[in-house]
Amino acid sequence: MHVSRAKQIIEMTDTVPVRLDDEHPVWIESVDEANEMATVQVGTNPTNTHTVSVGRLVEEKKK
């Protein structure tokens, strides 16, 4: 995913399904544009957050 798309997803009112490494569902909490990093919540546990490269995030395709 590109940084610009990650920022768009954060600002949207709709929920956009995103996965980390195309495996784990995540919620994007913030994006660091300068370093192309994102802080994400993995799954539904609000204390399970990680800072990862935006390139590891994959937007799920609508079926």
- Which tens digits make up the pLDDT trace of 9-29? 999 999 899 999 989 999 999
Domain count, the chain: 1
* pLDDT score recorded for residue 63: 61
Question: What percentage of the chain carries pLDDT values higher than 90?
Answer: 81
Mean pLDDT for all residues in the chain: 94
Q: Which domain holds residue 29?
A: 3-59
Strands of the 49-53 sheet, one edge to the other: 49-53, 37-42, 24-32, 18-20, 57-59
CATH number at residue 16: 2.30.30
